[in-house]
Amino acid sequence: MTTNDPTPSTDFIRAQIERDREAGKNDGRVHTRFPPEPNGYLHIGHAKSICLNFGVAQQYGGKCNLRFDDTNPEKEDTEYVESIQEDIRWLGFDWEDRLFYASDYLERFYEAAVKLIRDGKAYVDSLDAETMREYRGTTHEPGKDSPYRDRTVEENLDMFARMRDGEFEDGAHVLRAKIDMASPNINLRDPTMYRIRRVHHHRTGDDWCIYPMYDWAHGVSDAFEGITHSLCTLEFEHHRPLYDWFLEQIGDIHRPQQIEFARLNLTHTVMSKRKLLRLVEDEVVSGWNDPRMPTISGMRRRGFTPDAIRAFCEHIGISKFNATHEFALLEHFLRQDLNSRALRTMAVLDPLKVVIENYPEGQEEWLEGINNPEDESAGTRKVPFGRELYIERGDFLEDPPKKFFRLGPGREVRLRFAYYITCTEVVKNDAGEIVELRCTYDPESRGGTADGRKVKGTLHWVSAQHAVDAEVRVYDQLFQSEDPEAGGDYMTDLNPDSLEVKAGCKLEPSLVEAAPGQPYQFERIGYFCVDAEDSKPDALVFNKTVGLRDSWAKAQKKK
């Protein structure tokens, strides 16, 4: 399948939704949700879930809610709540008026828990955490009943109310579901529903000192919101019986269906907010939106486009098997999108001065440059030319081999959009370093064509007089290994060369106008964008988004 394929991929989730619709389940409604915990910034793995949840809702004329799963106050923050919304919008999805917070349901969770207690389906346990763990058993040994399991309904109701009222220390008691301590599924061995935790919550303040556990809060929230298909990652497969059990006990409540799919994993990346937070806290990166981070905000700052991320997510599709995709595949989709939309410009990252001796001093010309050969509507721009230019240092060799089709003493090359030039002299400083080239130009070759003379090389260049200076940041993978955790701690696998800062780069003057979010191709080098955070009108900063060479497409051809 290609990125431009308009037919959405069919997968087992869509197949299930279609069967449900045909059977008239939920009156044919499709209602999904994206439920991030606001304990970090979203990453590319979340993009997969966002594309899936909002995507199927769109496809079947349904709805998708954004729900902050914010019942674990110690790690949560409003900064995260805001960034998550910004990132989802940027990806191109809209929850309309359906922004919810699980913390808004705390009273309703409480009431539902009281019902379970009344029905003898939940009890207050007072074992200490360690004993409780011992009693839980293992995968091959059944657990043991807690001595508190037979508390009466009245006692449980009283204790639970006092837990809420703050009568007990943190950790003194928990509320547990009363299911089966011998269940082969450990998740069903009387899982904890509530714990006492005196922590300030970013929305409910100090109203609560008991907080519900994920398994309890999540399914019930889905039910409250009328979710039809609750899509989650594979590690929740063994929680599904619990998800269903809770809703069955509540009884008179909407019944969503949980369906699991495989997480997205990418090479050279760690993908968990907790692990990414450590990179931020240890100042290994400049922040959550560091352009090397696999976060949506980092990728946006790096110059990724929402279209490229969505095309990638559609391409990899949905499956039941955990797999790791190559980062190069994501970059392949990025290049495809940038190729169609990036404006072509010229920039010299490692400048070498060129003086054209037969070009009149003080003269300048404005030559025509094509903005995007892939898109005629992008038009043309004027590029200034003069007697002094910069070319890329790597485009000149004093003693070039035959196959080097760039500049060397006595050799002739074409300057893009401009003229043919021939190198006549190499100027060096006292240390023997090349500081300048002297050249001549052929006035007849304006626009880059002449009398049929064979000139193989075409170089990019910038007029010295008109050039604007910029800092350019060139990135490499943040981690050296494909699997940064293969050798243990991912922090030991950091790539020391993941950021190269190039100062004194020379850009063509049209780039002064570069707006954040607008992709540019620096001809022959790669795709770049202005850094939305650090760039200033008098101190431009550009990020390299990705190089031109598509290693993934190349590898596919060889196969």
The residue ranges that bind ligand ATP (CB under 6 A) are 35-37, 45-46, 48-49, 69, 232-233, 263-264, 271-273
Catalytic residue among 21, 25, 29, 37: 37
Q: Is 23 in a helix, a strand, or coil?
A: coil
> Measured between alpha carbons, how far apart are the two ends of the chain, in Å?
17
Measured from the CB atom, the residue of 259 and 413 that comes closer to ligand ATP is 259
Query: What is the per-residue DSSP string for 37-67?
Result: -SSS--BHHHHHHHHHHHHHHHHTT-EEEEE
Residue type for 512, please?
V
Choosing among Mg ion, ligand ATP, none, which partner's interface includes residue 232 (Cβ < 5 to 8 Å by kind)?
A: ligand ATP
**CB-hemisphere CA count at 13 Å for 559?**
6
Site string for Mg ion, 19-38 (x = CB under 5 A): ------------------x-
Gap between the Cα atoms of 187 and 182, Å rounded: 11
Gap between the Cα atoms of 556 and 559, Å rounded: 5
Closest-CA residue to 46 (of 1, 91, 98, 94): 91
CB of 276 to ligand ATP, least distance (A): 7
Q: Which two tokens stand for residue 457?
A: 């090389």
Start-end of H helices in 364-512? none
Sheet holding 192-196, edge to edge: 122-125, 174-177, 192-196, 210-212
Residue type for 357, please?
E
Gap between the Cα atoms of 28 and 141, Å rounded: 44
Measured from the CB atom, the residue of 52 and 179 that comes closer to ligand ATP is 52
CB of 34 to ligand ATP, least distance (A): 6
How many C-beta neighbours within 10 Å does residue 200 have? 9
Catalytic residue among 151, 176, 273, 544: 273
How many C-beta neighbours within 10 Å does residue 499 have? 16
Choosing among ligand ATP, Mg ion, none, which partner's interface includes residue 271 (Cβ < 5 to 8 Å by kind)?
A: ligand ATP
Gap between the Cα atoms of 383 and 246, Å rounded: 68
Choosing among Mg ion, ligand ATP, none, which partner's interface includes residue 264 (Cβ < 5 to 8 Å by kind)?
A: ligand ATP
Helices 327-341 and 306-316 cross at an angle (nearest 10°) of 140
Q: Which two tokens stand for residue 173?
A: 């008691």
Closest residue to Mg ion using C-beta atoms: 37
Closest-CA residue to 46 (of 321, 232, 227): 232
CB of 37 to Mg ion, least distance (A): 5
CB of 10 to Mg ion, least distance (A): 29
Catalytic residue among 29, 255, 263, 278: 263
| Residue 96 among the catalytic residues | no
Q: Is 321 in a helix, a strand, or coil?
A: coil
Gap between the Cα atoms of 11 and 111, Å rounded: 38
CB of 85 to Mg ion, least distance (A): 18
Taking the CA atoms of residue 89, residue 91, residue 94 and residue 100 in that order, the dihedral angle to the nearest 10 degrees is -70
CB of 545 to ligand ATP, least distance (A): 22
Q: Are 423 and 437 in contact (CB under 8 A)?
A: yes
Measured from the CB atom, the residue of 195 and 506 that comes closer to Mg ion is 195
Measured from the CB atom, the residue of 271 and 434 that comes closer to ligand ATP is 271
Gap between the Cα atoms of 200 and 55, Å rounded: 35
CB of 533 to ligand ATP, least distance (A): 23
Choosing among ligand ATP, Mg ion, none, which partner's interface includes residue 180 (Cβ < 5 to 8 Å by kind)?
A: none
CB of 311 to ligand ATP, least distance (A): 17
Measured from the CB atom, the residue of 239 and 414 that comes closer to Mg ion is 239
Residues 35-64 touching Mg ion, rule: CB under 5 A, are 37
CA angle 294, 299, 301 (to 5 degrees): 135
| Residue 273 among the catalytic residues | yes
State the catalytic residues.
37, 263, 273
The residues that touch Mg ion, with contacts defined as CB under 5 A, are 37
